[in-house]
Every structure is written in structure tokens, then in C-alpha cells.
Structure 1
Amino acid sequence: MVDRELLDCLRHSRHDWMNTIQILKGNIALGHIDRVDQIMDDAIRKSEHESRLSSLNVPSTAMFLLTFNWHSHWFYLDIEVSAKNVDCQSYEHCWYEILSSFTQELDKSVKPGKENQLLVTIHAYEEPYLEIDFQGELEQTERIENWLALFSNSGKCYLEDIVWNEKELLFVALNNK
């Protein structure tokens, strides 16, 4: 029997690529070659980071991040991965817990219809960690304050280097040893 979830992933991925191809064709037809180069560079960069993420041995985290934008949210999520072929399996639980709970609270806290962006950077070196950078507008700051207080130093994960102002929230997520 065919795995429906796998077919759904393939369908979404094909849809994303078809959108990119249509945008490329439209810009070529309009003679916007500089824009075509930029779109192609962005697609290559995104694919490289997705490939690096897929090789970190964090399947739940990877699936969560790779499929996040396929669902309706009030912000767009982008990923960057600084290294490749590093085994981050011991970070899987912490990363998934932080990312899934933070994005859920963020979705309830941002101002709908604004340009809200979340960049998740995975620094996969000797001591891997997440850098989470939200840029946009928050409506319900108390939800985020409560979430930050909960994760600032609890369980297997903790947060540090928290920077927060009207338009940005930046923090680093680390594993407790």
C-alpha cells in the first residue's frame, strides 16, 4: 500500500516547483533576466539548505521545517543550515520541541496580514544550536513572553542571547548537557 503522507509531500513539492517554473517563465517573457537570475539563485540556495537539513539525522525536525509553509500560517518560515553531514540526532527532541511550540505561539501572536518572517538557522558544528530570528509585528506579546520564560532554562533545552524589540525577536536555542 502506498504511503499517503509521502504522496502528499511529493504533491506539495511538485506544486512548489511548478510555481517557481511559472514565475521564471513569466519573467523571461517580460524580459526581466536579472529577476530570473535572482529567482534561480534563491531556488538553488533554498534547495542546498534543505539538502543539508535532510542530512543532519533529525527527521522530525526536518519534516516539520520542510513542510511548514505548506500549511496556512501568519508568517513565512525560511531555513538555513551552516554545515552538512553532521549527526545531530541527540538534538532532535530539543529542536523539535522548541520549534513546534514556538511556531504555534508565534502564529497566535503575530499581526495577521503583515510581512512576518521567521528564519531558523541551524549551526551544525561541534556544539550544534538553533538561531531563531523573527522579523515582523506581534499583537499578543504576553504569549511570547510566557513562552520565553518557560524555555529560558528548563528541561533539555534552554534559550539565551534573547534580543527583543518592536520588530524583531532573536534568540539561540541550546541543549542542556
Structure 2
Amino acid sequence: MKNWSHEELIRYYRHDWLNTLQMIRGNLQLNHIDQVERIIDEALFKVVNEEKLFRMKTPRFTEYLVTFSLVPHFCRLDYEVFGDVRAIPDLDQQLCHLFASFMNLIERSVNPNTQPWVSLSLEFTDTVVYCNIAFEGKLTDPRALQKWMTPYKVHQCAQSKEGILSVEMTAHFQIAYRSCK
């Protein structure tokens, strides 16, 4: 994981928002209101999910996800947070390790010509955080991913005739409660 300075983060983040504003302006000039609405909806979705990540109080994991798109990667990453989000600082290292090791494995063995995609959803329940990961793309060595997934609950793992691998898996983490005294 890259060590970001505050200045670098602000510069990249500002650039990202300027791109979004330029897309809105361009589509308004072309009177493509449906595109403007889509861009605004995507920006709002992103901001809401980032706010939920920050409420989790998992700085390393949050930094990993929020800065993922700031550097070139072979995979596209989408993420979403569901449920009654609360602070889980004790899970920061585990979540970061789980997802970073998954992404490192994918990045090392993905065929970049297949537009690979990874989706992460975090679902909060009363006692558990479910970490659902979905991947779609071509891997040079699918066995490495299958070996990595062994300890997790795999919902789907299929490969098309074209060699596109589709995987859905879940890891769950117990939430530790602390009394407020």
C-alpha cells in the first residue's frame, strides 16, 4: 500500500471531483440531462459509501479502498456498505489483509485484456460483518485463486467457454461489543 501524503491525497481527490464536474458541464451543454443525472447519482453513491467507510473507524482498510482508483490497476473496483454501520477498529487489520491479499493475487494473475471487475460489499448485522467479494475476469492461474479461497464460503465459482472466471465468496467477522462506562 502506498504511503500517501495529505497533499497528494487532496490533489488526487480534487482532480477526481474536477473530472466529475467537467462531465456534468459537458453533458449539460449537450442537453444530455439523463447522463447528468447518472453522473450525479454515481457521485452521491460514492460519497455516501465513503462516509460509511469513515464511520467504520478502519483507517488502513478505508485508505486502501478510497485510494484504489488513484493509481493504475488492471481491475475495476466497486464497493458498497450496507446495514447499521458502526465503528469496528479492531477489524481494520483483518479486513485490510483479506482484501489487499485478494487484490494482490488478482492483480498478479489477471489477464488485463478482459476488463476484470471486483465488487466488495460489507454488510453489517447485529453481531457480524459479512465481507462479500465478487470477481469476474480471466486469470492466468485460476488455481491460485481457488487455493486462496479455501477458508472462505464460496457461493459460486464458474468458468465460461471463453475462460472468464466468475467468483462470489463471503468472509465474516465477529463484531466485538464494548460497554460504555
Place the TM-score, normalised by the shorter chain, in its bin.
0.7 to 0.9
Aligned runs of 1:128-143 on 2, under 5 Å? Answer: 128-143=129-144
Q: How big is the shift at 1:114?
A: 2.3
Is residue 129–residue 174 contact of structure 2 (8 Å, CA) maintained in 1? no
TM-score by length of 1: 0.86
Is residue 131–residue 173 contact of structure 1 (8 Å, CA) maintained in 2? yes
Aligned runs of 1:13-162 on 2, under 5 Å? Answer: 13-83=13-83, 85-126=85-126, 127-149=128-150, 152=151, 159-162=152-155
Is residue 108–residue 140 contact of structure 1 (8 Å, CA) maintained in 2? no
Is residue 131–residue 170 contact of structure 1 (8 Å, CA) maintained in 2? yes
Q: State the Cα deviation string for residues 18-44 of structure 1 (Å, max 9, x = none).
A: 111111111112111101101101110
Is residue 88–residue 128 contact of structure 1 (8 Å, CA) maintained in 2? no
TM superposition outliers: structure 1 runs of 4+ over 6 Å? none
Q: How big is the shift at 1:120?
A: 0.8
C-alpha distance in 2 between matches for 1:100 and 1:41:
28
The equivalent of 2:158 in structure 1 is 165
C-alpha distance in 2 between matches for 1:165 and 1:142:
12
TM-score by length of 2: 0.85
The AA in structure 1 aligned to 2:168 is: L
- Identity between Structure 1 and Structure 2 (%): 25
Kindly tell me the number of residue pairs found equivalent between the two proteins: 167
Q: State the Cα deviation string for residues 84-117 of structure 1 (Å, max 9, x = none).
A: 5402222222211111100000011221132221
Q: How big is the shift at 1:176?
A: 6.9
Q: State the Cα deviation string for residues 116-154 of structure 1 (Å, max 9, x = none).
A: 2111111122211211111223232122123223xx1xx
The AA in structure 2 aligned to 1:16 is: D
Is residue 76–residue 117 contact of structure 2 (8 Å, CA) maintained in 1? yes
SS of alignment partner, residue 113 of structure 2:
coil
* RMSD across aligned positions (CA): 1.9
Is residue 118–residue 134 contact of structure 1 (8 Å, CA) maintained in 2? yes
Structure 2: stretches of 5+ with no match in the other structure: 160-164, 176-181
The AA in structure 2 aligned to 1:125 is: T
C-alpha distance in 1 between matches for 2:100 and 2:65:
9
